[in-house]
Structure 1
Amino acid sequence: MDINIDKVHSFWIWFQSVAADLLEYPSNQNLISLLDARITDLGITAWEIGPWENDDYFLAISPGFNINHLPLTQQVVDLAPVCAGWHFLAFKPAKGWEGILDMKNESGKRIRVNSANWEYVLYQFDDGSFDIDVKIDEVDGNEATRYDAIDLALAGYLGEELFMQLIQNITIVDTFESKATALKYIKKHIESIL
């Protein structure tokens, strides 16, 4: 995937023209639709806006869990102008959240997933990466939807970049052979190991 630099410059010029409106009305569906179309035109399909520090907002141009796309999203963000009230990221940040996410299942139905009670066990490799077993509550969807929910939950707790760099294989389990930890503690757990 190559980024068209002219399109990136055009995107940022356009973003500057709507940045103040997006800060004032971050849920405006017309602005969100325009933003989505502009980002999609760059060849990027995943992005997110949300509150940042000091009443600022962030715009994350996301690699969509594909670590090979991270250099491309980083290139887009590197070309970003200074824009009052905005912080630009090349990946979705960790969330200060309760583990509840809204997503679509395999049939397009909107579902709410609560990962607050999920548990996990990590298996560390010599390179510092991990495999993880996860015990989850019921998710309204098939196996692919359940794994998507785990990806989103882990990225929410760890941040997308750390998730892509450190988590290798995920397995859904019904029971554990060793002591499990609540998923909401995974970032602190990994930081204590590394």
Structure 2
Amino acid sequence: MRQLSTTVDALKRDQDDMRQLSSTVDALKRDQDDMRQLSTTVDAMKRDLDKERNRTAALDEMRKTSVTCPDGYTMFREICYKAFITWTTFIEATAGCSADGGTLAMPRDAETDAFLISLYKSASDHEPFLYHTYFWFGLHDRRREGSFAWVDGSALGTYSNWGPAQPNDYWGNQDCVVYSAKYPKDKWVDMGCDELYHSICQAVPGRP
């Protein structure tokens, strides 16, 4: 009877071990199911990411091919710019820009200002006689002295790049603004609107 009792106790312990093993196996199966679900989720996320990358690439390609600048213009921040080395008054320069569907350039921030400076420097590099000259852009105070506005009618705003002691309205008739390519170097200077200088235009990209 003692041996039988001992055998029964051993069987009970084995039965408990089997239950624990079964519970462990069930837990492993659940973990395995969770891993499968996680793997499925990760795969779905990868597919979505690939789709988004393809969509973004397609949009970038469409953006590049769907708009274009007028001949000779260079795009910066989705606006086209060109430096002209012909000699014109401010009004003539305005009309010339309008013929290309644009206006005289309006550098409203430091980045655009720096780009326009590089643009007219590039034009000057190809024309040695432009050693020291000026380029009209779209700023003036023709409506009211000292109240500078862009050619689209908006106020000057917070950014400017005036040269020393500028604007000075020398002789009382300097109502239009140029880039000074030499002295003061790469700065804004007010000039008489009837003077003959070069110019920088801007235009909105159009569809080919």
TM-score by length of 2: 0.26
TM-score by length of 1: 0.27
Rg: which structure is higher? 2
